[in-house]
Every structure is written in C-alpha cells, then in structure tokens.
Amino acid sequence: MNQKDLEQFLEIVQLIVQEEQEIPVTKPLNIEELHSLLDLKLEDEPVSDEIFFASFKELVKHTPKTASKSFFNQLIGGRRSRAVLGDLVSSVLNNSMYTYKVAGPMVAVEKEIIKKTADLLGYPASYSGTIASGGSISNFMAMVLGRDAKANTIEDGINHPMILYTSEACHYSVAKNASLMGIGRKQVRFIPTNEVGEMDMALLEAQIIADYAQNKLPFFVNVTSGTTVLGAFDDIEKASVICKKHQLWLHVDGAYCGAAIFSHEYKHLLKGVELSDSFSISSHKMLGTPLTCSVFVTPHKEQLEQSFSSEASYLFQSEEDEFNPGKTSFQCGRRNDALKLWTLWKSIGTSGLEKLVNHQFKLSEIARKYIRKNIDYQLFSFDNSISICFNYKNIDPKVLTAALHKHAKLMVSYGSFKDQTFVRLVTINSDNSEEEIVEFFKKLEQFVRENTLILQ
C-alpha cells in the first residue's frame, strides 16, 4: 500500500469513528438522491486524487454505521479492534486459503480455530472443518455432507426424493440451499415450533416416519441455536435421539448464538451439541469480528473430504493434503477470514470471548426487565435470548422502526413469530453498556412523544 493511501486510510477511519459518536444513525438517502448527492459514476478517464478522496469520503459519510451504539438492526454490531486489525492485515497480505504453499502458517491459524472449536463442542478426534464465508454457506455444506452420507449422490446425483427437516423459525438459507443443491424446496419440511419458538420434536419424528412410509428418503435435520427472530434454541439432545434412530444427519446452525459454547453460564443452551454431525458459528455475529467469518466443524473428517475434495493438478502440487485446506472448502480462491478471529481470540483468550457472550446476555436481561416493568410495552420473546421482541403502546412496529430510521434516531428492525409482528432489539453489540440499553428505550419513548402524528 502506498504512503498516501495509508494516510488517507487513517483519516477515513478517524472520520468513521468520530461520526459514529456524533451522528450514530446516518440519515438514510432516498434512492433517487443517491446519484445527485454522491459522485458514484465510473468514467473512462481517471479522476484527480483530490476528487477521488473527496467522493470517497462523502460515500463513507452516507453509509450506515453498523458499529455505532445506536445500531440494533441486525445480528451484527460493535467493533472488536483486534479483530479489525487481523482483517485489515488479511487484505494487505492477500493469501488465498487453498494451499500451504500460498497461505503458509495461515493454514495453521485456521486449523487452530477449528481444533479449539471442536474441543469446546466435545467432538471426537475425527473432527475436521473449514472457515466458510457465512452461516448460509455453512448450512449448505452441512446439507451436502448429509446428502452424500445418505446416498451415492457424489457420483450419481439425486435419484430419489430426499427430505430434510428444519423448524418453521429457521434461517431462510435452508430452503434456498435445498433448491441450489437440487433437493428442491418442496422437499423441505418446516416443523412447527412450540410457544417459545423451539422445534416441536414429537412432530419432527412423526413427519420423518410419515415420509419413510411414503417411500421418501429422509436425510437431514437442521436445528438452530439462536433462531433468527426470537433467538430460541432447539433441543439438540432430543433431535439427536431422533436422528440416530432414523439415520439422519444432524446439523446445528449456530450462526447467530452458537457462541454460547464459550460461556460456562450459557453453554447449557446447546446441551448435546457433541452428538451432532456438524456445527457452525458466525464469529461476525456474537463475537463481533468484521464480516465474514464462519467456523464449520464436523466429527466426520472423511465425509468432508469425500464431499468437498476434487483433484486439480494445477493447484494441489504437494502431498500434504492435511495442510491444503482447498480440499475441504467450498471455494477455490478463499479469503483469509480466520485471521481476524485468531487475532481477537489470541489477544483476549477464550475467557475474553466468554465475557463478550455473557455481557450480551446480561444486556438482554436489562432490556427484558425494563419492558416487564413498564405497562406500555408488550414482550414477545423469552429469557436466555439476546433478541428482545416487543411492541410499544400498540404502535405498528413497521411504522415505528421505519420512522426511527428516517429521523436518524435508532436503527432497529421488526420481526414476526406466528401471527405477531414486533420490534426486534438485538443486544449483540458488546460495546453497549447497561445504561445505553435503557437509553434505547428512553430515546424510543421520547421519539413517540414528539411524533405522535406520523406514527398514527
């Protein structure tokens, strides 16, 4: 990187950090305004450095600030500085994580993360894994492993309707992946959830039996540790008994709250995870690394190799397959996403990761306590969840969340469960204090007081 770009980089980062404090919610631009306010057009001729940096800074200034203390909109938040450091260095080094020749010790960094995660899960020595570019791809990989373990699909393709099971509250990637991998969306059975948003295990087993009876081929169960809306945890132990009995692959989608495995206090939420056939966690969610970094682990090393390795003499030119992670990954060229998790984990230790997780659960308790004490609120979510779902004074949550954003007060979104729609506050930003969570409610209430007309 040249000196000038490095200096500009520092200036831009300082600008971002300053803006996060002074203007924590960026006023959204109308789509029509985009091109009139910002210089985004790409042209044949180069622009001067002066124009380039001015346009670039303007673009940055208008971009939503997801690490600010007023961002509660999605399942990301805050900024772990050490993780950002690792991420930036990944970009400058620009290794590709397919071979030891090209990635060198960075391969061992990945392997260390996978090993530590497998140990925490209680997986046997036959574990293996990869660093994937997100929870959706991790779910995809799990589904492929489950498919290939059940039938000879690697060579023959799918010759028989293969059925997979997930709860109605699962992440949308499960259905999308089913279509992408040739299983078909119609083969996804969405099992109803109980009143707290967990998959109903009796209905799961009944559905598997019914599918076998109809000569279908059940192959895979996805359980979620932290459902996207309510943050509920499916019962892994019960799912495992059913999967073993009926010979199905059990995947634990821990993209959102799988990080509870780092906490002595909360790991009980994933009780039985050691019995699963695969597990994934997105460190860009609860652990607060920059996007994206997902750790995918399985106790079935051989299956991962069978499903994901392919010979390529132009790439794999040494015999050390153990150190050629391109043999167990989805992509060919792959960014070094492991490094940002390693720089964070190395510097704060497993105990530091535990503190991040515990703090987020603590913040969620503060939020629930506030709601429960105040009769103007109605609570829809449950304990042991960092998604706090509520409505305030029966105001339409879609209108309220849109108005809060439009007026640059707070970024928070809404969600639905069964026939209810509500505001979903996510306490995933470990930089937030308990006082700042109370402040969220105060800001919301003040906004409602001052804007009764637009909220009607």
Ligand X SMILES: Cc1ncc(COP(=O)(O)O)c(C=O)c1O
* Contact status: 415 vs ligand X (CB under 6 A): no
Interaction pattern, residues 89-128, with ligand X; x per rule: CB under 6 A: ----------------------------------------
Distance CA 364, CA 370 (A): 10
At 454, the amino acid letter reads I
Q: How far is the CB of 136 from ligand X (least distance, A)?
A: 4
Distance CA 303, CA 59 (A): 46
* Contact status: 73 vs ligand X (CB under 6 A): no
* Contact status: 294 vs ligand X (CB under 6 A): yes
Report the residue from 25, 75, 121, 236 that binds ligand X according to the rule CB under 6 A. Answer: 75
* Contact status: 173 vs ligand X (CB under 6 A): yes
Report the residue from 103, 255, 270, 425 that binds ligand X according to the rule CB under 6 A. Answer: 255
* Contact status: 134 vs ligand X (CB under 6 A): yes
* Contact status: 253 vs ligand X (CB under 6 A): yes
Cβ proximity to ligand X, 55 vs 74, nearer residue = 74
Region near ligand X per CB under 6 A, out of 22-30, 65-73, 131-139, 420-428: 131-139
Q: How far is the CB of 257 from ligand X (least distance, A)?
A: 8
Which pair of tokens denotes residue 405?
A: 């954003």
* 424 touches 228 (CB < 8 A): no
Q: How many residues bind ligand X (CB under 6 A)?
A: 14
Q: How far is the CB of 207 from ligand X (least distance, A)?
A: 21
| For helices 3-22 and 49-61, angle between their N-to-C axes, nearest 10 degrees | 30
Cβ proximity to ligand X, 114 vs 395, nearer residue = 114
Which pair of tokens denotes residue 248?
A: 């199905």
DSSP string, 298-346: ES-HHHHHHHH----TTT--SS-GGG-GGGSSS-SS----HHHHHHHHH
Cα→Cα distances 67→44, 228, 281, 385, Å: 35, 20, 20, 21
Q: How far is the CB of 427 from ligand X (least distance, A)?
A: 15
Distance CA 80, CA 291 (A): 12
At 304, the amino acid letter reads L
Q: How far is the CB of 256 from ligand X (least distance, A)?
A: 4
Q: How far is the CB of 103 from ligand X (least distance, A)?
A: 22
Distance CA 50, CA 238 (A): 62
Which pair of tokens denotes residue 392?
A: 């305030």
Nearest residue to ligand X, by Cβ distance, number only? 135
Cβ proximity to ligand X, 224 vs 324, nearer residue = 224
Beta bridge partner(s), residue 420 = 417
Beta bridge partner(s), residue 191 = 167
* Contact status: 224 vs ligand X (CB under 6 A): yes
Cβ proximity to ligand X, 146 vs 448, nearer residue = 146
Region near ligand X per CB under 6 A, out of 55-63, 222-230, 270-278, 394-402: 222-230
Beta strand 278-282 with 294-298 is antiparallel
Cβ proximity to ligand X, 133 vs 391, nearer residue = 133
CA dihedral 116, 120, 122, 123 (to 10 degrees): -40
Residues near ligand X, by CB under 6 A: 75, 134-136, 171, 173, 224, 226, 228, 253, 255-256, 282, 294
